[in-house]
Amino acid sequence: MKYYFCVLSKKPLRVDMYLSTLFTDFSRSFIQKIIDRGQVKINWSEIKKNIKIKNTDEVSIEIIIEKSKIEAENINLDVVYEDDNLIIVNKDAWINTHPVPGENGKIWTLVNALLYHTKNLATINWEERPWIVHRLDKDTSGLIMVAKNDSMMKYLQNIIQKREIDKYYIAIVNWIVKDKNFKIESFIGRHPTDKIKMTAKNPINPKIAISYWKVLEYIDDKYTVLEIKIETGRTHQIRVHLSSIGFPIIWDKVYGNKEVNKEVLNKYWLERQALHSRKLVIELYWEKKEFIWELKNDMKKIVEK
């Protein structure tokens, strides 16, 4: 794509700011990258992103967007909602949200499945591919929002930053939780000695994390089913919060209780953490929308029992 035009502006403006408001489908960071790569010229000369453009300056832009280097795969998707801008899927457990390092890390992920399923895609790091708004751990199932173009991507980024999306989870935890409603607020960051873990105790680079729970029911006088609403979205937030107060999620391999996990495997055949993203509440197209989806079969069997 190539563009040529003359600037009409009463006052000088930073070129990256001017172009990001003019090309609303592209983020400011994307505009900065194409400037750095010499694909934007002012009066036929290459520029830097912090220069200011003036009235009557001539601008030429060449935008080169590559196809994703990640392969599309025909993986079954449980689609909850879809339109031209957005898709919401009910992710299975055992599948990574994004490609990860290592052998076979770029296959059989949600991104691979979405590349096969979707046609119009957002632009991320010079590639056309679906933009997943929020992550779920590999062993967590449930609702994930995916932007299919740059406009929706920027809109969702903005409302997430403002905490204007309500996200609700279902978790099954060890032991009986007696407090019917509760709020957990703490700092969460990297564990000082374990690279895999996050922690609420002496974390590295801590960030505030806020979660709310509500007791839904008890199972076998041993486990509690919780509905959890998160106000922030920190890595492993729900898992760390619950384990830090003595109620780890059953079959959580990192923060859980090994003996309880073994018991749950023998009794219920559950082999992944009992955590499911069940409900999203979001303002979409000037209307409040609520998306609710049922538990996956492995968690549903335990709750129904």
User: How far apart are the C-alpha atoms of 101 and 135, rounded to whole Å?
Assistant: 16
Please give the full DSSP string across 106-158, using - where no structure is assigned: TSSBHHHHHHHH-SS-EEETTEEE-EESS---TT-EEEEEEESSHHHHHHHHH
- Cα–Cα distances in angstroms (integers) from residue 200 to residues 64, 116, 168, 196, 272, in the given order: 44, 39, 21, 14, 23
How far, in Å, CA of 194 to CA of 199, rounded? 10
Q: Judge contact between 250 and 262, C-beta under 8 A.
A: no
The tokens for 79 are: 């689609």
Residue from 37, 201, 210, 222 nearest 126 by CA: 37
Provide the token pair at 239: 């898992």
Q: What DSSP element (H or E) covers 79?
A: strand 79-82
Residue 84 designated active-site: no
Give me the catalytic one of 57, 137, 139, 150: 137
Catalytic residue numbers read: 137
